[in-house]
Amino acid sequence: MFAAVNEEALFDLEVRLLLEALFQRYHHDFRDYAMASVRRRVRQAMQRLDCQRVSDLQHRILHEPDAFAQALPFFTVQVSEMFRDPAYFMALREHVVPVLRTYPSLKLWVAGCSHGEEVWSLAILLAEEGLLERTLIYATDINPQALRAAENATYETRRITGFSRNYQAAGGTGSLADYYSSAYGRAVFDRRLRKHVVFADHSLATDAVFSEVHMVSCRNVLIYFNAGLQDRAIGLFREALVHRGFLGLGSRESLRFGANADAFEPLVPAQKLFRKRT
C-alpha cells in the first residue's frame, strides 16, 4: 500500500513537471486545471503517443512539435453538440433576447468554443430572433485545431439528427436544415452565419479581456479548472460584461463560494443563467 501511494505521488509530481514544461515551452497553461482530470488526460496522451512514462511524454512534447499537436487535444475538452441542453437556449430566447433587443449593436463571447457547435447554435438563435445582423460573436479557444474545425462549420451528417432534435426542443422556429447543406456525409453550415463570427486563440488561464460584451457563454469549461482558475475566468467575464450583462454557465457549474459570486445575480437558476449586478 505504501509503495502504491508513493507511485501515485510520483506520477502527480511528473504531471506537474509536464504542465510546467508545457507552459514554459508553448505558453499553454494547464497548471491550475483540476488534477483528477489532468491525470486522466495525461494517461490518454501517453497511450496515444506510446509513452511508458510521463517523462517520456514530456521529452517528446518538448522536442517534437508534432507530438505536442497530437497531445494538445487531450488537454482540452472538445465534446459538444448543437443546442446542447435545449432548455438553456429556450431560456435565452425567453429571458435574454428581449433585453438584447434594446441594444443597437451586440457583442457575445463564447469562451472555450471547442468545435463550434455552441457558436453556430447561438448564431441560428439570434438569426431567428432578428438580432444576428447587428451582432458580433467572439469564439475563443486555446486549441488551434479546434478553432479551425469550428470555423469550417462542418459536421458529420450522422450527428445532424441529434442536432435537429435539440434545435426543436430549444424553440427553433423552422427547420435546422434551413441553415446547412449536405453532401458526401458532411453538413456545412451557411456562410451567412459565419460573417458574424470572429474566431481567436484565447486562454482563460493567461490572457486578458479583449472586448466589452453583452453576454458571455462559457459552458462546461470551468468544471475542469481548480478554484483559483475558476475565479480568474469569472473575473474576466465580469470585467468584459457591460452593465447588467449576461453570463451563461454549464449545468454542473456554479458561482457559489467563488470570489466573484456577489458580482452576479441568478436570472434563470435552473439553466445557470446569471446577470451582472449593478
- pLDDT digits over 61-106, tens only? 999 988 888 888 888 766 679 999 999 999 999 999 999 999 999 9
Find the mean pLDDT for residues 272-276.
Answer: 97
Count how many residues are written for the chain. 278
pLDDT value at 1 more than 50: no
What CA–CA distance (Å, rounded) separates 119 from 276?
A: 22
Residues 6+ apart with CB under 8 A from 237: 109, 111, 216, 218, 247
Q: What are phi and psi of 187, to 5 degrees?
A: -115, 125
**pLDDT score at 27:** 77
Sorting pLDDT into bands at 50, 70 and 90, what band is 10? confident
> With pLDDT > 90 as the criterion, what percentage of the chain qualifies?
71
pLDDT value at 28 more than 90: no
Task: Pick from 53-67, 86-100, 255-269 the range whose average pLDDT is largest.
Answer: 86-100
Find the mean pLDDT for residues 161-172.
Answer: 96
**pLDDT score at 210:** 96
Find the mean pLDDT for residues 182-202.
Answer: 94
- Answer yes or no: are the C-beta atoms of 242 and 99 closer than 8 Å: no
Determine how β-strand 241-249 pairs with β-strand 180-183: unpaired
Task: Pick from 20-24, 37-41, 242-246, 258-262 the range whose average pLDDT is largest.
Answer: 242-246
Q: Which helix or strand (DSSP H or E) is residue 214 part of?
A: strand 213-218
Does residue 256 sit in helix, strand or coil? Answer: coil
Query: What is the DSSP code (8-state) at residue 225?
Result: B
Which cell is 76 given? 482540452
What confidence tens digit (pLDDT) does each residue in 203-247 have?
A: 999 999 999 999 999 998 898 888 999 999 999 999 999 999 999
